[in-house]
């Protein structure tokens, strides 16, 4: 028997164990090995029933990701074909029991559904998350799922991509029993119970498919849900079409229709972009020059300085990951405010049923709020999250250097300031690194790991490991003003403001941006983050301004008039008590007055111009960043933007978007903007020029030099 599958006979039950670590993916050879094992067990007179189980930590977690990549590159192939295996399992005349632990996702769930019965341990997770990749369950999943859980639930599972635990899966009808104790023992006992019952094939369970009225309601609700939670995305709508086929066509024809839709999806630019992001997220942990198993400092206790917006969020992220936290601020008032916010956040999670009260209590107990540095001498990692001021940070690093133990990693959460200048305040700059979290830090997945010129390999490896521990995506970037994400955002923000000064209104720009797919418009983001925040950043970096170069003006005026965003119920928008924004006549007047003062006669600005100026400025800055070596790969920038800045994954990130538009076109437009607005703002990045002239792409550059 193949090494990928082991078979044993346990008192009349053939136990077929998939052995394809780490996640038993349906990789090359696995479907065939399984098929052969099922056929052999069916022939074996000593076998009364079959149990299929995953070896190691999980059932079959899904398709093989390398095969997925190959399929995305060659969508015509339709991807790996597991249909013969599914038919073989379902047609087996002896009962086949799927024994599930860990996860059964995508292709794993599709295989499980072809079995005659499914049992699972309580913490097993099942789901059809294909929408996250811009594709649909393409191995008969859209045909079997509604037969097991009903049309409305199938629609919901495919659209949301949510994973369900065994208990819920049982309630839905996706599995037959939640088992306790040893899974294999329980699955074999179950198999013996049902060994003599006639097998029931999922594909024959048509009973719940025929309620036309209920189905129509479910499809309409699903399309509405898709528009809400996955705006602009086509895959969830395609999944609904495929489920609709299940309700209208016999099984085989439904499967045929599903295959056509699946191929179409796989070839779509959205799937290509989302699969790119999927791989890019996994690629960021490959840090050039850093061995995968590079030694790290062990991190158990984290000292956090500053209990404000960021310090509080970082504290939550740490205790959520089991690290203990010392949270320091300068006044009792600031500390109380910080703890009140953390408590409110956890309370909300408890009320929504996401966190048990006992877990909340345990996590709160792991946060030690304090005004002194007591205990910081034992901290393994100190993260500074005080005000964005070089003076404050320099003073703090001078202080903590005296307290921290020699092997304590010293990190700053600065969004813009020079890590090297901060590190220079200590006698151990090798221990200093930037850990740039995003707000809210307990939720946002991105951490930019800023490598200073002295940051040691071990410190960097530790930072990468910490990001992983916190279940975040850590992207290593170089030390330059704004690092990668904010530096590109400043260019994007700059153009958005210029457009307003030339004739657009904030709400028009924001609408064009959200229509493009951004999670929020840039002005809404600015109001959320605080206009005062960006203002303060600008004050800190005034010395970097080039004289004579145009700078946005309205932002300063908003700050000066006390319109600091949501916290003041007024910024680029005005806000009601529930923080619902609406256009503000004050801002309109301010904008129009500013335009006149600046000598612009306001003109109609097209959405196309908004998109081109905002995003091409971003792409151009990204290309400069790559040329300067501040990001290793264009894909890293894409991850920063999709995980930290609300850039739509279905567009693959800004650099992938540039490739999709065509770099020749992007370059030509940037050259035109350079003529119109001057080289200080729009000189094309040399890398962009080179790639455009060679008919190449950022993705090709990544592939040629994956670092």
Binding site for ligand NAD (CB under 6 A): 305-311, 328-330, 334, 385-388, 392, 396, 413-415, 436-439, 529, 533
| Cβ contact 51:13 at 8 Å | yes
Cα separation of 564 and 558, whole Å? 7
For residue 338, give every residue at least 6 positions away whose Cβ sits within 8 Å of its Cβ, in sequence order, or none.
Answer: 307, 308, 311, 312, 315, 327, 329, 369
Alpha helices in 552-651 (DSSP H): 554-560, 585-598, 607-627, 634-644
Q: Which is nearer to ligand NAD, 17 or 479 (CB)?
A: 479
Please say which residue, 228 or 543, places its beta carbon nearer to ligand NAD: 543
Long-range interactions of 589-593: CB distance < 8 A, separation 24+: 590/554, 590/557, 590/558, 590/561, 591/500, 591/501, 591/505, 591/506, 591/554
Q: Cβ-closest residue to ligand NAD? A: 308
**Cβ 169 to ligand NAD, closest distance in Å?**
38
Looking at the Cβ atoms of 142 and 413, the one nearer to ligand NAD is 413
CA distance 379 to 476: 23
**Residue 319 near residue 367 (C-beta atoms within 8 A):** yes
CA–CA gap between residue 287 and residue 474 (Å, rounded)? 10
| Least spacing, CB of residue 172 vs ligand NAD, in Å | 39
Q: How far is CA 91 from CA 8, 84, 173, 201, in A?
A: 21, 10, 21, 8
Strands of 216-342 (E only): list them.
301-305, 324-328
Give least dist CB 601 to ligand NAD, A: 36
CB of 671 to ligand NAD, least distance (A): 34
Nearer to ligand NAD, 386 or 522 (CB): 386
Tell me the closest approach of the beta carbon of residue 617 to ligand NAD, in angstroms: 21
Cα separation, 5 vs 422, whole angstroms: 55
Phi (first) and psi of residue 16, to 5 degrees: -105, 115
Least separation in angstroms between residue 635's CB and ligand NAD is 22
Q: Which is nearer to ligand NAD, 189 or 528 (CB)?
A: 528
Nearest-approach distance from CB 415 to ligand NAD, in angstroms: 4
In the chain, DSSP finds a helix count (H) and a strand count (E) of 31, 19
Reduced 3-state DSSP string for 223-257 = HHHHHHHCCCCCHHHHHHHHHHHHHHCCHHHHHHH
Compare residues 53 and 450 and give the one whose CB is closer to ligand NAD: 450
- Name which of 88 and 563 has its Cβ closer to ligand NAD: 563
Least CB distance to ligand NAD at residue 563 (A):
18
| Residue among 25 and 369 whose Cβ is closer to ligand NAD | 369
CB closer to ligand NAD, 6 vs 334:
334
Distance CA 490, CA 496 (A): 10
Q: Confirm if 303 and 379 have CB atoms less than 8 A apart.
A: yes
How many residues can be counted in the chain?
A: 707
Q: Could you tell me the smallest distance in angstroms from the CB atom of residue 456 to ligand NAD?
A: 23
Q: Compute how many other C-beta atoms are within 10 angstroms of the C-beta atom of residue 302.
A: 26
CA–CA dist 311, 400 (Å, integer)? 16
Query: Quick one: 534 exposed, middle or buried, by C-beta within 10 A (0-12, 13-18, 19+)?
Result: buried
- The answer to whether residues 601 and 478 touch, using CB atoms and an 8 Å cutoff, is no
Query: Which residues form the catalytic set?
Result: 110, 130
């Amino acid at each position: 028997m193949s090494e990928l599958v082991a078979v044993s006979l346990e008192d009349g039950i053939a136990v077929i164990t998939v052995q394809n670590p780490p996640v038993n993916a349906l990789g090359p050879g696995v479907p065939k090995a399984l098929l052969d094992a099922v056929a052999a067990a069916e022939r074996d007179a000593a076998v009364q029933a079959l149990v299929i189980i995953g070896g190691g930590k999980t059932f079959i977690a899904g398709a093989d990701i390398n095969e997925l990549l190959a399929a995305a590159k060659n969508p015509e192939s339709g991807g790996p074909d597991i249909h013969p295996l599914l038919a073989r399992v379902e047609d087996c005349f002896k009962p086949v029991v799927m024994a599930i632990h860990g996860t059964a996702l995508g292709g794993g769930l599709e295989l499980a559904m072809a079995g005659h019965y499914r049992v699972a341990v309580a913490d097993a997770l099942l789901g059809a998350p294909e929408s996250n990749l811009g594709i649909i369950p393409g191995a008969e999943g859209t045909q079997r799922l509604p037969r097991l859980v009903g049309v409305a639930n199938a629609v919901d599972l495919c659209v949301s991509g949510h994973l369900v635990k065994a208990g819920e899966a049982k309630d839905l009808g996706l599995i037959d029993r939640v088992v306790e104790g040893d899974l294999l023992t329980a699955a074999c006992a179950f198999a013996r119970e049902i060994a003599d019952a006639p097998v029931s094939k999922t594909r024959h369970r048509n009973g719940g498919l025929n309620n036309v009225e209920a189905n129509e309601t479910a499809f309409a609700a699903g399309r509405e849900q898709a528009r809400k939670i996955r705006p602009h995305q086509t895959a969830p709508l395609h999944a609904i079409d495929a489920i609709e086929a299940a309700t209208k066509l016999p099984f085989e024809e439904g499967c045929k229709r599903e295959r056509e839709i699946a191929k179409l999806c796989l070839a779509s630019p959205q799937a290509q972009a989302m699969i790119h992001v999927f791989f890019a997220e996994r690629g960021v942990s490959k840090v050039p020059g850093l061995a995968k198993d590079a030694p790290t400092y062990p991190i158990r206790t984290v000292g956090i300085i500053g209990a404000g917006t960021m310090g509080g969020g970082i504290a939550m992220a740490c205790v959520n990951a089991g690290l203990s936290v010392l949270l320091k601020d300068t006044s009792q008032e600031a500390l109380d405010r910080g703890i009140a916010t953390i408590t409110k956040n956890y309370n909300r999670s408890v009320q929504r049923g996401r966190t048990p009260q006992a877990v909340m209590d345990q996590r709160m107990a792991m946060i030690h709020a304090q005004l002194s540095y007591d205990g910081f001498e034992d901290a393994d990692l100190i993260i500074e999250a005080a005000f964005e001021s070089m003076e404050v940070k320099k003073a703090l690093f001078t202080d903590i250097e005296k307290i921290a133990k020699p092997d304590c990693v010293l990190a700053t959460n600065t969004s813009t300031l020079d890590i090297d200048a901060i590190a220079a305040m200590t006698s151990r700059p090798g221990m200093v690194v930037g850990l740039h979290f995003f707000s809210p830090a307990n939720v946002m997945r991105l951490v930019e790991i800023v490598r200073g010129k002295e940051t040691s390999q071990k410190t960097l490896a530790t930072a990468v490991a910490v990001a992983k521990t916190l279940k975040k995506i850590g992207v290593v970037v170089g030390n330059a003003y704004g690092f990668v994400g904010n530096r590109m955002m400043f260019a994007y923000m700059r153009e958005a403001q210029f457009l307003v000064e030339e004739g657009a209104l904030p709400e028009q720009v924001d609408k064009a941006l959200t229509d493009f797919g951004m999670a929020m418009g840039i002005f809404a983001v600015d109001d959320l983050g605080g206009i005062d925040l960006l203002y303060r950043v600008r004050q800190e970096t005034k010395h970097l301004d080039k004289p004579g170069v145009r700078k946005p003006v309205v932002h300063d005026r908003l700050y000066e008039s006390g319109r600091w965003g949501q916290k003041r119920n007024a910024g680029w928008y005005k806000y009601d008590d529930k923080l619902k924004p609406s256009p503000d006549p004050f801002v309109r007047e301010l904008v129009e007055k500013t335009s006149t003062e600046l000598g612009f006669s306001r003109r109609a600005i097209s959405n196309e111009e908004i998109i081109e100026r905002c995003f091409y400025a971003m792409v151009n800055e990204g290309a400069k960043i790559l040329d300067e070596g501040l990001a290793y790969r264009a894909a890293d920038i894409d991850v920063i933007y999709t995980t930290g800045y609300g850039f739509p994954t279905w567009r693959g990130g800004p650099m992938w978007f540039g490739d999709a538009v065509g770099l020749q076109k992007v370059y030509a437009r940037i050259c035109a903007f350079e003529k119109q607005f001057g080289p200080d703002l729009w000189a094309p990045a040399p890398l962009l020029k080179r790639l455009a002239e060679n008919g190449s792409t950022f993705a090709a550059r990544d592939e040629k030099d994956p670092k």
